Amino acid sequence: MSRIGRLPIAIPAGVTVTVDDTNLVTVKGPKGENSYRANTAMQVKVEDGQVTVTRPKQKVGQFAAEVREKRPPEPYKGKGIRYEGEHIIRKEGKAGKGKK
């Protein structure tokens, strides 16, 4: 079971998330649009800038992992979909490396 699936997913600025009654989740942002049909056993809600998914636990964790898979966080600029409270270790990049 995933511990991550219990946490809400924060919606970044400039991104809109809509959920219809057939559990079709549509995410529109500056770089395009993604759609995902959630399992009918789950309830997906958008409240206060966060996406909340209710039980069953295994399905919730799987859904959270699939949403995160669309745009995983990258270590150089820190962009991408993160779980709430997740810390991404940032890297320096080429400019921070010393020359020989």
Tens of pLDDT, residue by residue over 3-62, are 455 678 888 888 898 999 888 989 898 989 988 888 788 788 888 888 887 777 777 778
Mean pLDDT across 58-87: 80
Helix (H, G, I), strand (E, B) or coil at 32: strand
The DSSP bridge partners found for residue 26 are 18, 35
Higher-confidence position of 17 and 80 = 17
Of the pLDDT bands very low, low, confident and very high (cuts 50, 70, 90), residue 97 is: low
Amino acid at position 23, single letter: N
**pLDDT given for residue 76 in this prediction:** 84
**pLDDT given for residue 28 in this prediction:** 92
Which residues touch 38 (CB under 8 Å, ≥6 apart)? 23, 24, 25, 44, 53, 63
Nearest 10 degrees: Cα torsion 38, 44, 49, 50: -80
